[in-house]
């Protein structure tokens, strides 16, 4: 590796007495901070920055992916209509996604640390479940669970995704997909609890205990969170030639690093960030629609509670596992190819659900629930990995916050407006519309291109005289 031979002590870090690093600049001016290992910075392997975010994501998944299984009991207990319960989830999704950008901005300004964001989020999630448990007034429940709980979950989600992306810049597809998967299949036990052991006689205790569970799990994980220095790159991979282990080299060849660090304004001006935003609005809307209506549609068709619960359980598990699988595949196929693939699968699954319902086939219904879960989750880590792939890691908290904010629009038409479409067109019409929307989103994703790259992957080093911390 050709690089500036000057070594520097890591500044303003009490653990840096025996650490030094070099800053390597490629031909496009991108800076890589090399020389420090993950153990130098953390005192242990960076694998902990995969498993801890994964556990925290599993804890908060109950808020979204198990909610549909609790709706009937909540309606009976509080006297809410079906539309009321759908709008509570829609507001939750709106604020869960909407907080990503301001939280990212606060983090990058140094106002909000990763650990503090997690602590605040955990406390707000507890308050959200307490509101869902004890407020009969639907507006108070919307504020408590939808707004407060949504913001809390969003703080945790955004922090976890950003954390793993920073620690694995050379192989973020598989790692981001794995962490993101916890946000779906972590809800599986609660889906069955809500279907079989959740009623108007015990709903207070169940929801209160879930809130406490989320608080404790997230707070414990948060205690160990730590960001790497800006521009950090793993010491065992040459950022100029991508020399290193075979799996790293293969992933970087398919998904080369961003040509430079783009600020949010610069990322928007490339045109690629707005395209990502539009695509995620449409795709997430279809995914949220499926989450919201899967159980109700199964019951409407006449399938028993086991099939209804199992269809949602299958969707949640495959939604999560699919994120990890596609994340791994994206390191081999390329991020954009994988993204288009899963969006098309999601769209086809919507038409399959209609077919299964029309012929009253339980096994086909479960199969297409499987496909819907796969496609309806796997696109999230693709956008999470594409964002730093295209725009760099230094502003990823805000850049990905902007992309992910598309989900706040999705929540409106995926849940609340989705219920209106079901009322007007029936389930067949609503699922057909969802399938069409997904296909349009796939076409938009085909237009994505990495800004500033002309096909060259090799680079040369240029000296740097000042460290970036």
Is residue 9 in some structural domain?
Answer: no
pTM, entire model: 0.78
> Among candidates 220, 199, 59, 52, which has minimal Cα distance to 125?
59
Higher model confidence: residue 307 or residue 177? 177
Is residue 468 in some structural domain?
Answer: no
The pLDDT tens digits for 15-65 are: 444 568 888 887 777 888 888 888 989 988 999 999 999 999 999 999 987
Which pLDDT belongs to residue 310? Answer: 67
Is residue 13 in some structural domain?
Answer: no
> Distance between CA atoms of 450 and 386, rounded to whole angstroms?
9
> Distance between CA atoms of 157 and 122, rounded to whole angstroms?
11
Return the top range by mean pLDDT from 86-90, 111-115, 248-252, 306-310. Answer: 111-115
Task: Indicate if the pLDDT at residue 293 is higher than 60.
Answer: yes
Confidence of residue 165 (pLDDT cuts 50, 70, 90): confident
The pLDDT tens digits for 326-373 are: 888 888 888 999 999 999 999 999 999 889 888 888 788 888 877 887
Q: Which stretch of 119-133, 185-199, 212-226, 257-271 has the lowest confidence by average pLDDT?
A: 185-199
Domain count, the chain: 1
User: Which runs of E-coded beta strand occur in 237-334?
Assistant: none
Confidence of residue 224 (pLDDT cuts 50, 70, 90): very high
CATH number at residue 416: 1.20.1250.20
The pLDDT tens digits for 246-279 are: 455 566 778 888 888 899 999 999 999 999 999 9
Is residue 86 in some structural domain?
Answer: yes
Which pLDDT belongs to residue 305? Answer: 63
Is residue 206 in some structural domain?
Answer: yes
Task: Indicate if the pLDDT at residue 419 is higher than 80.
Answer: no
Is residue 351 in some structural domain?
Answer: yes
Report DSSP state, residue 135: -
Return the top range by mean pLDDT from 35-49, 215-229, 396-410. Answer: 215-229
Question: Average pLDDT of 302-313?
Answer: 66
> Among candidates 134, 196, 152, 172, which has minimal Cα distance to 60?
152
Is residue 411 in some structural domain?
Answer: yes
Q: Residue 230 sits in which domain range?
A: 42-234+245-252+262-445
Which pLDDT belongs to residue 306? Answer: 64
> Distance between CA atoms of 200 and 209, rounded to whole angstroms?
15
Return the top range by mean pLDDT from 58-67, 227-236, 435-444. Answer: 435-444
Strands 31-34 and 20-25: antiparallel
Which pLDDT belongs to residue 420? Answer: 76
Which pLDDT belongs to residue 217? Answer: 97
Is residue 135 in some structural domain?
Answer: yes
Are 257 and 30 in contact by the 8 Å Cβ rule? The answer is: yes
Confidence of residue 321 (pLDDT cuts 50, 70, 90): confident
Query: Residue 458 CB: number of other CB atoms within 10 A?
Result: 9
Which pLDDT belongs to residue 14? Answer: 42
Confidence of residue 308 (pLDDT cuts 50, 70, 90): low
Task: Indicate if the pLDDT at residue 160 is higher than 60.
Answer: yes
Task: Indicate if the pLDDT at residue 442 is higher than 50.
Answer: yes
Task: Indicate if the pLDDT at residue 460 is higher than 70.
Answer: no
DSSP helix/strand/coil, 297: helix
Phi-psi region at 271: left, alpha or beta (left = phi > 0; alpha = psi -120 to 50)? left
Which pLDDT belongs to residue 148? Answer: 97
Q: Dump the DSSP string for 391-431.
A: H-STTHHHHHHHHHTHHHHHHIIIIIHHHHHHHHHHHHHHH
Task: Indicate if the pLDDT at residue 12 is higher than 50.
Answer: no
């Amino acid at each position: 590796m050709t690089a500036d031979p000057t070594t520097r002590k890591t500044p303003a870090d009490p653990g840096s007495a025996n650490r030094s690093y070099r800053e390597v600049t490629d031909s496009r001016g991108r800076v890589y901070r090399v020389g420090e290992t993950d153990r130098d910075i953390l005192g242990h392997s960076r694998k902990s920055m995969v498993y801890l975010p994964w556990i925290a994501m599993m804890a908060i998944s109950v808020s979204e992916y198990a909610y549909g299984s609790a709706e009937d009991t909540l309606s009976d207990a509080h006297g809410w209509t079906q539309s009321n319960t759908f709008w509570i989830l829609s507001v939750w999704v709106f604020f869960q996604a909407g907080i990503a950008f301001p939280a990212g901005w606060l983090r990058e300004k140094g106002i909000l640390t990763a650990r503090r964001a997690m602590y605040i989020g955990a406390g707000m999630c507890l308050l959200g479940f307490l509101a869902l448990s004890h407020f009969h007034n639907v507006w108070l429940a919307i504020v408590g669970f939808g707004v407060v709980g949504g913001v809390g979950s969003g703080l945790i989600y955004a922090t976890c995704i950003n954390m793993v992306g920073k620690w694995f810049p050379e192989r973020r597809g598989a790692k981001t997909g794995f962490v993101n998967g916890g946000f779906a299949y972590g809800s599986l036990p609660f889906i069955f609890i809500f279907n079989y052991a959740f009623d108007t006689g015990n709903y207070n205790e169940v929801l209160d205990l879930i809130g406490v569970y989320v608080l404790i799990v997230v707070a414990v994980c948060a205690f160990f969170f730590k960001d790497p220095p800006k521009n950090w790159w793993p010491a065992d991979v040459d950022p100029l030639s991508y020399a290193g282990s075979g799996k790293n080299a293969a992933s970087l060849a398919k998904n080369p690093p961003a040509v430079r660090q783009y600020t949010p304004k610069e990322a928007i001006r490339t045109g690629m960030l707005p395209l990502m935003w539009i695509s995620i609005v449409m795709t997430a809307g279809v995914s949220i629609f499926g989450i919201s209506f899967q159980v109700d549609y199964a019951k409407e068709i006449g399938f028993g509670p086991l099939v209804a619960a199992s269809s949602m359980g299958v969707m949640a598990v495959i939604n999560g596992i699919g994120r990890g699988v596609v994340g791994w595949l994206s390191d081999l196929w390329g991020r954009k190819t994988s993204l288009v693939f899963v969006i098309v699968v999601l769209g086809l699954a919507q038409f399959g659900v209609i077919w299964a319902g029309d012929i009253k086939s339980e096994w086909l219904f479960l199969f297409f629930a499987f496909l819907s879960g796969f496609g309806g989750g796997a696109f999230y880590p693709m956008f999470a990995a594409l964002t730093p792939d295209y725009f760099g890691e230094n502003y990823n908290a805000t850049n990905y916050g902007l992309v992910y904010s598309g989900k706040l629009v999705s929540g409106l038409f995926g849940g609340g407006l989705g219920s209106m479409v079901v009322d007007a067109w029936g389930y067949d019409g609503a699922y057909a519309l969802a399938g069409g929307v997904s296909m349009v989103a796939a076409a938009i994703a085909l237009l994505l291109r990495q800004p500033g790259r002309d096909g060259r992957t090799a680079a040369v080093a240029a000296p740097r005289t000042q460290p970036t911390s």
